[in-house]
Structure 1
C-alpha cells in the first residue's frame, strides 16, 4: 500500500496550538520558579485547591478538581497547566494559577511541604476556637 500526501506534522495549517499559545500569552514571573511536587504536601493543598476551583466555578465540580490534581502530578510547566485549565476556569484561570503556583513555591520551601499561608490560617483558626 503506497500512501501519498503529508502528515499533520508536516502541514503548517496544523501547527502545535499549545506552542502558539505559550508564545502569545503573558505569564507571571513566579512561573519561572520550578516546583518539585514531591516536596509539597498535596494532602494539605487538596482542600485549598478544591475550595478555589469551587469559588471560581461557582459550584463544586469533582471532574475539574481531579483533572487539576492529575495535571499537577504529570506536568511541571505551570504555563501548560494554565492552558489546559482555561477551558474550565476561563477568565479566572490566570488568577487561579498564579495563586496556586505561589502556594506551591511556598510549600516547596517549607520543611513540612505546607505553604506558610495555610499554616498561618490554621494558627488563626485554632486561636479563634480558644477564645
Structure 2
C-alpha cells in the first residue's frame, strides 16, 4: 500500500476555541463542492463535526459521577455506603452544559482536532491527492485564524480589505464620471445661454435698423 503523505502544517496543533469556525465554513463548503462537483452534505458535515470545538469538548469530557444515596438526607431506597457511582438528578443537567461554560469562560476546555485522521477519512471521498491538498489548505487557514486576535484567517481579512479597496476605487471612479458629466452639462447649459444671448442681440439689432 502506498504511504500516505501529509502536509507539513498538519503537525501543528490547533485550539479550535480560538477560531471563528463560522467564517471558515463557507470556504470548506465551496472547496469540497468544487472537488466533488456537487454539494455533499455528508462530507461537509463530517469536516464541520471534526472541527467544532463544543462537540469535540463534549465528546472528550469525563463523566462527573456522584455516589448513590448522596441526593440528600431522607432519600429512600439507596444504601448511603454503596460504592457504585452515578450522576445525581440535579448535577446531571448541569454537567451537560459544562463544556459550553468552560468554552465561554476560556478555562480548561480546548479542542485539538486530529488532521491526519481527517485526511485519512476524507481520502475515501476526495481521493488521496485532493484530500492532502484540501487538508493542507484548511490547516493553513486554521493556523492563521488561531494566531489572529479576531479568530479570522489573515487571508480572509486581506481579501476583505482588498474588496473594500476595490469598492472604494470603483465608487471614486463613478464619482469622477458623474462630476465630469455634471461639468459637461454645465458647459452645455452655458453654451445654450450664450446662444440665446446672441440671438437676442441679433434680434435687437434687426429691430433698430
Taking structure 1 as the reference length, the TM-score comes to 0.76
Q: 1:125 aligns with which of 146, 160, 163?
A: 163
- SS, match of residue 124 in structure 1: helix
Q: 1:34 aligns with which of 13, 17, 24?
A: 13
Contact 2:5–2:132 under 8 Å retained in 1: no
Larger Rg: 2
Structure 1's consecutive aligned runs of 4 or more residues displaced over 3 angstroms after TM superposition are none
Which residue of structure 2 lines up, in the alignment, with residue 97 of structure 1?
A: 135
Contact 1:107–1:113 under 8 Å retained in 2: yes
Give the Å deviation of 1:111: 0.3
Computed over aligned residues only, the root mean square deviation of the Cα atoms, in angstroms, reads 1.8
C-alpha offsets along residues 44-100 of structure 1, whole Å, 9 cap, x if unaligned?
111111111111111122221111101223462210010111111113100000000
Q: 2:147 aligns with which of 109, 113, 121?
A: 109
The residue correspondences of 1:1-131 to structure 2 (distance < 5 A) are 24-73=3-52, 74=56, 76-90=113-127, 91-130=129-168, 131=170
- SS, match of residue 27 in structure 1: coil
Instruction: Please give the alpha-carbon distance, in whole angstroms, between the structure 2 residues aligned to 1:94 and 1:127.
Output: 33
Unpaired stretches in structure 2, ≥5 consecutive residues: 57-111, 171-209
Give the Å deviation of 1:123: 1.2
Instruction: Please give the alpha-carbon distance, in whole angstroms, between the structure 1 residues aligned to 2:122 and 2:4.
Output: 14
Taking structure 2 as the reference length, the TM-score comes to 0.49
Greater length-normalized contact order (CA 8 Å, ≥ 6 residues apart): 1
Instruction: Please give the alpha-carbon distance, in whole angstroms, between the structure 2 residues aligned to 1:114 and 1:32.
Output: 21
